Structure 1
Amino acid sequence: MIFESSHCPEDSRVETQFCQNLVAQANVDRAITPERSTSISPDSIRPKPSQAIQQIILFTPSRASNPQIQAALVKLQNQVAAELRSRGFTVQSVPTGLDSASAIAWINRRATPNTFALSLQTDAFLNPDARGTAAFFRAGDPQRQQQAEELVKRILRNVPTLVDRGARPDTETAFGRLPFVRQLSVPAIVLSVGFSTSPQDRNILLTRSSAIAQGIANGLAPRPVQARSTTQVPIRIRLNGELSENQGFILGGNAYLPIALLNGLAINFQRPKTAQLFT
């Protein structure tokens, strides 16, 4: 779970108090040392320059305090994996039950130069009105920032009822860093799908997971746009049961009729300005 500078969970009194104390101290630290927001943690690993993604590793942190949300996230993870595999990617999922440190070690052992890692989780806040989807990237990594922005954009395109919290550097979290994006040897993003404490976000996660999964897959691996065909395929035209001497053709999935045929039928045809003429 991500603790943002103003967001603390309500799963347990101990966890909430810990987060609130941490937030208070973080705000003090920022007031004393403003440059902290751009500093790099000494225990962080600088990922090697990214190559074309071939393998994607998915991680869903355990949420023992909320089994319903945990089950929904695991379902979402499986749907994302299926979408990515259908696009030719190798996909691995971190075994359930591993804590973050163990998951990071698990991923690093299986990482290749073409690997990308994504953590799927939800946020929480004491105010149930807090909502939104956000993608957290390693601060100071413009390539990952661009990828995070694309990820959020594609998700919202598929599920516009979600709220856009945008792409955010991990320095905006209460801890000032996210180990998942700093201690992995490969590029990584932490995706907060929504707030488990928001009735609206929770309902979307439970009922629109397939659309969310497609948005995530589109953000990570957009389907290539097929080039428009330039080959004209002739077609015969039958009028009143007889073949016409005039032929049409199919181009790019659209059928085109000869103007001579329309004139011969005395059809009052006014060509739209956007119509295409072929000879």
Structure 2
Amino acid sequence: MVETPNRLNPDSQFNPYPRELLTPDQVGKYESWQRMYGLCDTPPPEGTEIGAVVMPTGDLDDRVGPSLALFIHLAKTQSEMPHLVITGKWSNANVDGGGVSAEKAVEMMRAKILEDDSLDEDFKRRLTDRLIAENEAGNTAEQGRFLHKLMEDGKIKGPLLADVSPYHVPRFIATVVKQFDNIDQDPTRRPLIYAAPIEFLSWHDKPPLDWNGARADEPRWKLALDEAGKMARYTKDVASEQEMVDYSWWLRAQGVEPQK
């Protein structure tokens, strides 16, 4: 794949991961995370009609603007308007009250749409009708299971496009794939799930404060290492590297060329 400024990956010449900051004992974690990133960061092929944009709660100031812009862009350019699903009962389980829920995030997105004078009133109505708050999932595995339920119930359809912070791309997508596999026990029922990492977020900075004042305590480059540790611990919930290799081949069989 040709490297372009609007495509973010840890080896990007435009925003490279700061490997020089790694200590010797962190290198293995980074390399594990980076391999999974390469397997999970598959952009939708040109001309793909996305059924639902999916944004997990967390790092909301990083994610809400880009996710809403992506949703509106697809709504304008596709033959059928996608849904925008915000999933998660909280944005930070480690603060009082859990931070900002999906329901609250959707309320704020709805307000942003209604305040946008560049959109006509009918289009605004159609956009707001396609917002879905999945307000029950308490962790990433539950987000995967509730996405499965939304699809089973016919409330959304694929392909899915995950709009998420870059450090969270591997665990989020690998978890969704694993949860569908756990439920269906049938690889042909896996979702087509593509990635749209939020662009140009500095690896050196901490995510900005959520609207309730909550945020991660580490810069993004360290959060990637934390994600590697979580993937190693949550083996029942997250697809393994080999399982994601298999998933990449399955995507290829659907006519999708996984990112190199």
Is TM more than 0.5 here?
A: no
Task: Considering fraction of residues, name the structure with more helix.
Answer: 2
Query: TM-score of the superposition, structure 1-length normalised?
Result: 0.31
Query: TM-score of the superposition, structure 2-length normalised?
Result: 0.32
Considering only CA atoms, is the larger Rg found in Structure 1 or Structure 2? 1
